[in-house]
Chain A
Amino acid sequence: MATIMTDTMAPLTGDWDIEIDGLSISLGRSGSDQVVFHLPELRIARGERFALTGPSGCGKSTLLNAISGLVAPDTGTLKVAGTDVSRLSKAQLDAFRGATIGFVFQSFNLLDSFSALENVLIGMRFGRSVKKADRRERARSLLDEVGLSHRVHAKPATMSVGERQRIAIARALANRPRVLLADEPTGSLDPQTGQEIFALIQEVCEIEGCTLLFVTHDLELAARLPRQFDCRGLIRHEALKDRAAA
Chain B
Amino acid sequence: MNLWTIANRYCLSRPLVTLLTVLGVALGAALISSVLTLRRETESTFIEQSSDFDLVVGAKGSPLQLVLSSLYHLDVPTGNIGYPQLERLRADSRVTAAVPFGLGDNLQGFRIVGTDLSLFDVQRRLREGDPVAIFHLAEGELFSGNFEAVLGAQVARETGLGIGDQFAGTHGLISIAGSETHDDFPYTVTGILEPSGTSHDRAIFTTIESVWGVHDAEAAIHAAMFGGSTRKPAPEPEPEAEAGDDEDVEVPSFLMNIYANSGDDEDEPESDSPYADREVTAVLVQLKTPGLRLFMSSEINTKTDAMAAVPIMEMQRLYLRVLGPMQTTLLAVAYVVVVVAALTILTTLYQAAERRRRDIAVMRALGARRWEIFVLVLLEAAIVTLFGIGIGWLLGHGGVAIAADAFQGSTGLAISAWSVDAVELRALGVVALCGVIAGLVPALLTYRRSPVRDLAAV
Specify which of B10, B368, B458 is in contact with A109 (CB 8 Å cutoff).
B458
Asked if residues B367 and A95 are in contact (CB atoms below 8 Å), the reply is yes
CA distance A71 to B456 in the complex (A): 12
Q: Is the interface of A mostly helix, strand, loop or mixed?
A: helix
Q: Is the interface of B mostly helix, strand, loop or mixed?
A: helix
Interface membership of B39, Cβ < 8 A:
no
Chain B residues, Cβ within 8 Å of A126: 363, 366-369, 372
Asked if residues B368 and A94 are in contact (CB atoms below 8 Å), the reply is yes
Chain B residues, Cβ within 8 Å of A121: 1
CA distance A91 to B452 in the complex (A): 16
Interface membership of A114, Cβ < 8 A:
yes
Interface bits B328-366 vs A (CB < 8 Å: 1, else 0): 000000000000000000000000000000110111111
Asked if residues A125 and B2 are in contact (CB atoms below 8 Å), the reply is yes
Contact A175 B6, CB 8 Å, known A105-B455, A122-B1? no
Interface membership of A159, Cβ < 8 A:
no
Question: In the complex, which residue of chain B has the Cβ closest to the Cβ of A90?
Answer: B370
CA distance A73 to B366 in the complex (A): 20
CA distance A171 to B365 in the complex (A): 12
Asked if residues A128 and B362 are in contact (CB atoms below 8 Å), the reply is no
CA distance A68 to B10 in the complex (A): 27
Interface membership of B13, Cβ < 8 A:
yes
Which chain B residues in 368-387 approach chain A with CB under 8 Å?
A: 368-372
Interface membership of A123, Cβ < 8 A:
yes
Chain B residues, Cβ within 8 Å of A114: 1, 6, 9
Q: How many residues of B contact A (CB 8 A)?
A: 27
Interface membership of A61, Cβ < 8 A:
yes
Specify which of B1, B10, B364 is in contact with A118 (CB 8 Å cutoff).
B1
Interface membership of B435, Cβ < 8 A:
no
Asked if residues A111 and B365 are in contact (CB atoms below 8 Å), the reply is no
Contact A91 B458, CB 8 Å, known A113-B13, A122-B1? no
Interface membership of A98, Cβ < 8 A:
yes
Interface membership of B451, Cβ < 8 A:
yes
Chain B residues, Cβ within 8 Å of A99: 367
Question: In the complex, which residue of chain B has the Cβ closest to the Cβ of A91?
Answer: B369
**What is the distance, in angstroms, from B142's C-beta to the closest C-beta of chain A?**
71
Interface bits B1-39 vs A (CB < 8 Å: 1, else 0): 110001001101100000000000000000000000000
Specify which of A68, A71, A91, A118 is in contact with B370 (CB 8 Å cutoff).
A91
Interface bits A90-119 vs B (CB < 8 Å: 1, else 0): 110011011101010101011111100010
Interface membership of A5, Cβ < 8 A:
no
Asked if residues B362 and A111 are in contact (CB atoms below 8 Å), the reply is yes
Interface centre among A71, A109, A118, A123 (most CB of B within 10 A): A109
Interface centre among B1, B361, B366 (most CB of A within 10 A): B366
Specify which of A70, A123, A127, A128 is in contact with B451 (CB 8 Å cutoff).
A70
**What is the distance, in angstroms, from A138's C-beta to the closest C-beta of chain B?**
13
Question: In the complex, which residue of chain B has the Cβ closest to the Cβ of A102?
Answer: B366
CA distance A159 to B10 in the complex (A): 20
CA distance A70 to B455 in the complex (A): 10
Interface membership of A65, Cβ < 8 A:
yes
Interface centre among A99, A113, A126, A127 (most CB of B within 10 A): A126
Specify which of A71, A97, A107 is in contact with B452 (CB 8 Å cutoff).
A71
Specify which of A98, A107, A112 is in contact with B368 (CB 8 Å cutoff).
A98
CA distance A213 to B290 in the complex (A): 89
Interface centre among B2, B361, B363 (most CB of A within 10 A): B363
CA distance A113 to B352 in the complex (A): 13
Chain A residues, Cβ within 8 Å of B368: 94, 98, 126
Chain A residues, Cβ within 8 Å of B370: 90-91, 94
Chain A residues, Cβ within 8 Å of B458: 105, 107, 109
Which chain A residues in 125-167 approach chain B with CB under 8 Å?
A: 125-128
Write the residues of chain A forming the contact surface with B, with a CB cutoff of 8 angstroms: 61, 65, 68, 70-71, 90-91, 94-95, 97-99, 101, 103, 105, 107, 109-114, 118, 121-123, 125-128, 171, 175
20 residue pairs from A and B, CB less than 8 Å apart: A65-B452, A70-B365, A71-B452, A91-B369, A94-B364, A94-B370, A97-B366, A98-B366, A103-B366, A105-B362, A109-B358, A109-B362, A112-B13, A113-B9, A113-B13, A113-B359, A114-B6, A121-B1, A123-B366, A171-B366
Write the residues of chain B forming the contact surface with A, with a CB cutoff of 8 angstroms: 1-2, 6, 9-10, 12-13, 358-359, 361-372, 450-452, 455-456, 458
Q: What are the nearest 10 A-B pairs in CB distance?
A: A98-B367, A113-B13, A126-B368, A126-B367, A126-B366, A109-B362, A94-B369, A121-B1, A127-B367, A125-B1
Q: A65-B455, A112-B359, A175-B367 are in contact. List 17 more A-B contacts (CB 8 A).
A: A70-B452, A91-B371, A94-B364, A94-B370, A97-B365, A99-B367, A103-B366, A105-B455, A109-B358, A110-B362, A111-B362, A111-B363, A112-B13, A113-B10, A113-B359, A121-B1, A126-B369
